[in-house]
Amino acid sequence: MGNEATCTLKIGKQTTAGTALLESSELIFRPAGGSPRLKIPFSAMKSVKALDGRVYLETADTVISLNVGAIAEKWRDKILHPKSRAEKLGIKAGTNVSLLGEFEEAFLKELRASTKAISNGKITASSDLIFLSVNLAKDLPSAIDKTAKAVKGATALWIVYPKGKKEITENDVLTAGRKSGLKDVRVVAFSPTHTALKFVIPIANR
């Protein structure tokens, strides 16, 4: 996967082997020996450079380098120019979007800025993307079963749910989605409080 690399991290004279994960708004380093992971938000980086297979990250306190090899420049560009939420979710001009449930105003504003083809509260036959907001695991089976019937061809279903809540977990969402005959293909940090899981009809069943 392009956003994960086995590498070494260097801070000052200390070098540590492990795995680096490039997320949408932060870089995470997990040491091989089981030490606590290091999390560096993009917002904390004062400068980002790529040179000879290394990514150099300057924060207010130190300079960190990771020898990720050939993907160093790609990682630098992703850190300096992160995708917007709409881009990560596959929303662009002309995308037909259907919304079910309640969504924060910030997302609705971003959505309206990206496309005018929006149906709120009803799934249209021409939907490219369906967004389903669910807050409780007990509501998942009925909500997904009903929505999954409207997923046709290459239409994708994004299930948006609260993160870090015992009332609904990633496993709850994955299980319900798979039971409805859909395949999970991507996860996105929807917001500081919510996660989005993308489901599609398996290619063999389209």
Question: With helix as H, strand as E and coil as C, how does the chain read?
Answer: CCCEEEEEEEECCEEEEEEEEECCCEEEEEECCCCCCEEEEHHHCCEEEEECCEEEEECCCCEEEEECHHHHHHHHHHHHCCCCHHHHCCCCCCCCEEEECCCCHHHHHHHHHHCCCEEECCCCCCCCEEEEECCCHHHHHHHHHHHHCCCCCCCEEEEEEECCECCECHHHHHHHHHHCCCEEEEEEECCCCEEEEEEECCHHHC
Determine the pLDDT at residue 1: 42
How confident is the model over 98-157, as pLDDT tens digits?
Answer: 999 999 999 999 999 999 999 999 999 999 999 999 999 999 999 999 899 999 999 999
CA–CA separation, 91 vs 131, rounded Å?
11
- pLDDT category, 23, cuts 50, 70, 90? confident
CATH pick for 86-205 out of 3.60.21.10, 3.40.50.300, 3.40.50.150, 3.40.640.10: 3.40.50.150
> Which token pair is 192?
């500081």
Those residues with Cβ within 8 angstroms of residue 95's Cβ, 6 or more apart along the chain or in another chain: 114, 115, 117, 128, 129
pLDDT over 90 at 82, yes or no: no
- In this prediction, what percent of the chain has a pLDDT beyond 90? 89
Lowest mean pLDDT among 27-36, 114-123, 158-167: 27-36
Phi, psi of 175 (to 5 degrees): -65, -45
Within 10 angstroms of residue 15's Cβ, the number of other Cβ atoms is 11
For the chain, domain boundaries:
4-82, 86-205
Within 10 angstroms of residue 172's Cβ, the number of other Cβ atoms is 18
pLDDT over 90 at 182, yes or no: yes
pLDDT over 60 at 2, yes or no: no
Determine the pLDDT at residue 60: 93
> Which token pair is 205?
């069943």
**What architecture does CATH give domain 4-82?**
Roll (2.30)
How confident is the model over 44-60, as pLDDT tens digits?
Answer: 999 999 999 999 999 99
